Amino acid sequence: MNIVIIGDGKVGHKVVRQLSEENDDVVLIDQSERKLKNSSNELDISCIAGNGASAETQKQAGVGEADLVIACTSTDELNMLCCLLAKRLGAKQTIARVRNPVYFQQMHLIKEDLKLSMAVNPEMALAEEISRVLIFPSAAKVETFAKGRVELVEISLGPGSPIADLSLIELYKKYQIKILICAVQRDQEIFIPDGSFVLKEGDKVHIAAPHKAIERFFKTTGAKRNRVKTVLVCGGGRTAYYLTARLVTLGMQVKIIEQDKARCEELCELLPKATVIQGNASDHALLDEEGLENADAFVALTGIDEENIIMSLYAKTRKISKVIAKVNEEGLQEMAREMGLETVVSAKDVTANMVLGYVRAMKNSLGSANIETVYRLLGGKVEALEFIIREKTSYTGIPLKDLPIKENRLIACIVRKRQVIIPGGNDTMEVGDSVIVICKGWRLEDLKDILA
């Protein structure tokens, strides 16, 4: 595919990197020659220095022949203008990053006029990811498939975990709950496990199942944490706004600490059910004064990664059961996890996953199954994909045990007419099914790619 990306910021660079790994022809437009030089040295892409809203610059980048144009500059208005211009020049599809809540709320009214195929809001997407974890605090990470009917959760096996030293066959026999452990990270090694795989303390484990089954499993194994009722949020940016708006509708009590006085006044008007405090959230004395020890959850959302990490580590020393830190820099993400921060999130990672899912869906538009969702897990080394089978093929109606499924491919769940099936060897895939596949070390573009 021919893809043009406008804007080499944090989100743009992450999207460029991910799509360049997909063997697509990627052209990057940015006004900063320094940024483009770094990107060109790092990635196998073409670069054009110039204004993405200029018709001449877009023509130079080949926008007229592009399958997709993605505008992710720092300005919403510029992104929408770039996409409108790209469509006029002949681009087949366009995606714009739109962050302003006012614009995003009325996007359904203007999307057609702007000729947009998709609008992405990184802060809103990140807030949704954080809210899923706060609703299900036993998990470090929660992804959803099949319109929320299936969840893929990440947990870490701590000291004394009752499922450590059990093989997966022993675990399923002992607890008799229909879940599927579909990916495990042990130190730097990643496994797509079979029934003989033995879990160990310190493993990061991904579990796929309906929400109620996972909850029952956590309760039975003693891993279930109490429901989150009070949340302390540090930083009052857009993510904090979207997150708080969602949490208060769920009945949670939210307190935001924000340094800028004008922003505090704005948040007070926008979020009348939340408590907004003006102050420096990196001041540990202030955190203690505002009731850190009594909070069920702590979320660090300032614009500085290092601050978020330090505040989160401090919250852990105060025995807060659920601590979430926003960290954009990938090197710092891994460091934060090694320092014991269980849930580390990033707006650019969430956005890149959304764009990647859209691009894969475009590629397989003529395939036997539509791609609905794509998530990258464990540092991008594992992918979880949702396919919807739309026609009868060579693999439908055949028991899974009789299909030649490649190594490191796993069918985690099948959703059929709202029923979630944790598949066994005698189950089959049928037309209309949603099929969730876990894959290590390969980029799937069609469901048939899992077969040898």
Q: Which long-range contacts (CB under 8 A, 24 or more apart) does 117-120 make?
A: 117/68, 117/93, 117/358, 118/93, 118/94, 118/358, 119/95, 120/95, 120/96, 120/351, 120/354, 120/355
- pLDDT at residue 186, as a whole number: 93
Q: How far apart are CA 164 and CA 198, in angstroms?
A: 8
Same domain, yes or no: 405 and 304: no
Same domain, yes or no: 7 and 114: yes
CATH code for the domain of 341: 3.40.50.720
Same domain, yes or no: 325 and 247: yes
Neighbouring C-beta atoms of residue 222, cutoff 10 Å: 10
Q: Is residue 155 part of a domain?
A: no
Phi, psi at residue 406, to the nearest 5°?
Answer: -65, 160
Same domain, yes or no: 379 and 334: no
Q: Is residue 93 part of a domain?
A: yes
Name residue, tokens 């996972």: 214
- pLDDT at residue 83, as a whole number: 95
Q: Are strands 297-300 and 322-326 parallel, antiparallel or unpaired?
A: parallel
The answer to whether the CB of 411 falls within 8 A of the CB of 423 is yes
Same domain, yes or no: 241 and 275: yes
**Considering Cα of 7, then 10, then 11, then 12, what sign does the dihedral take?**
positive
Q: Are strands 68-71 and 2-6 parallel, antiparallel or unpaired?
A: parallel
Last residue in a domain, options 70, 94, 120: 120
Burial of 285 (0-12, 13-18, 19+ CB in 10 A): exposed
Same domain, yes or no: 267 and 376: no
Same domain, yes or no: 326 and 370: no
Alpha carbons within 13 angstroms on the beta-carbon side of residue 217 total 25
Same domain, yes or no: 235 and 309: yes
- pLDDT at residue 443, as a whole number: 78
Last residue in a domain, options 120, 154, 185: 120
Q: Is residue 326 part of a domain?
A: yes
Residue 96's domain spans which residues? Answer: 2-120
pLDDT digit string (tens) for the chain, length 452 residues: 899 999 999 899 999 998 888 888 999 999 999 999 999 999 999 999 999 999 999 999 999 999 999 999 999 999 999 999 999 999 999 999 999 988 888 888 888 888 899 999 999 999 999 999 999 999 999 999 998 999 999 999 988 899 999 999 999 999 999 999 999 999 889 999 999 999 999 999 999 999 999 999 999 888 888 899 999 999 999 999 999 999 999 999 999 999 999 999 999 999 999 999 999 999 999 999 999 999 999 999 999 999 999 999 999 999 999 999 999 998 899 999 999 999 999 999 999 989 988 998 888 776 678 899 899 888 888 999 999 999 999 999 999 999 999 999 999 999 999 899 999 999 999 999 999 999 997 778 889 999 98
Q: How far apart are CA 60 and CA 192, in angstroms?
A: 44
Same domain, yes or no: 333 and 402: no
Last residue in a domain, options 120, 150, 169: 120
Chain centroid to CA 321: 22
Give the count of domains, the chain: 3
Same domain, yes or no: 325 and 409: no
Q: Is residue 45 part of a domain?
A: yes
Q: Is residue 135 part of a domain?
A: no
- pLDDT at residue 128, as a whole number: 96
Q: Is residue 109 part of a domain?
A: yes
- pLDDT at residue 366, as a whole number: 65
Same domain, yes or no: 337 and 368: no
Element (DSSP H or E) covering residue 97: strand 93-97
Distance, first Cα to last Cα, the chain: 25
- pLDDT at residue 444, as a whole number: 85
Chain centroid to CA 320: 24
pTM of the shown model: 0.90
Q: Is residue 177 part of a domain?
A: no
CATH code for the domain of 408: 3.30.70.1450
**Considering Cα of 193, then 199, then 205, then 206, what sign does the dihedral take?**
positive
- pLDDT at residue 369, as a whole number: 82
Name residue, tokens 């706060």: 134
Same domain, yes or no: 259 and 326: yes
Give tens-digit pLDDT for 398-443: 999 999 999 999 999 999 998 999 999 999 999 999 999 999 977 7
Name residue, tokens 């302390």: 232
Element (DSSP H or E) covering residue 63: none
Chain centroid to CA 330: 14
Neighbouring C-beta atoms of residue 250, cutoff 10 Å: 12
- pLDDT at residue 181, as a whole number: 95
Q: How far apart are CA 20 and CA 3, in angstroms?
A: 10
Q: Is residue 69 part of a domain?
A: yes
The answer to whether the CB of 378 falls within 8 A of the CB of 183 is yes
CA angle 212, 215, 220 (to 5 degrees): 125
